[in-house]
Amino acid sequence: MTYTLNDWFGSGVMANKTGVLLNDEMDDFTSKIGVPNMYGLVQGEANAIGPGRRPLSSMSPTIVTKDGKTVMVVGTPGGSRILTATLLTMLNVIDYGMNIQEAVDAPRFHQQWLPESTNLERFTLSPDTQKILEGWGQKFSGPQPFNNVAAILVGAPSLGGKPVGKNRFYGANDPRRNSGLALGY
């Protein structure tokens, strides 16, 4: 199950007697064309508020399977940055052979077209690579408050790896959040 609030504590309203905070997903609609929302996402007429419409959302809890069996589960908060963080974590495990914690810890970048700048965490690109890309007109800026990925790899800490002890699920918690802990069992 996944649940989105959007901003910190959503709308700031709790449903009576439930303890469930209500979201503020109206920010995901375009309220003013060309004006960025809280995540800096600039949207157009296609996402305007209207009856019967649903707002653009990047919510994407992901379950990766192979031969019908669950291999990996990845999720993160973070508005427009959700897709980037989720994809980069999966690529780090599947294509680059990282274990699940290394994949979550790895530096990230994010580009969402507007604003026309790529957000970089430290050590995402080598200085030489960044300089070449800047020479081609690419603009870079420092990191935004990045996502806080939580991920689980099933069977071993890395794809093709061997189980450690009797553990079957290997969890990874993002150090960017500076809270919580992931344990395998």
Question: In the chain, where are the structural domains located?
Answer: 1-56, 62-173
Average pLDDT over residues 10-22: 90
Q: Which CATH class is domain 62-173?
A: alpha beta
Is 58 labelled a binding residue? yes
**The model's pTM:** 0.86
* Average pLDDT estimate for 41-53: 89
Pairing mode, strands 109-110 and 140-141? unpaired
- Burial grade of 10 (CB within 10 A; 0-12, 13-18, 19 or more): middle
30 marked ligand binding residue: no
4 known member of a binding site: yes
Q: Residue 145: its pLDDT value, please?
A: 73
Q: Find out whether 179 is annotated in a ligand binding site.
A: no
Q: Tell me: the pLDDT tens digits for 77-133?
A: 888 889 999 999 999 999 999 999 999 999 999 998 888 899 999 999 999 999 999
What local confidence, expressed as pLDDT, does residue 63 receive? 97
Q: What is the mean pLDDT of the chain?
A: 89
**Residue 28 is assigned to a ligand binding site:** yes
7 is in an annotated binding site: no
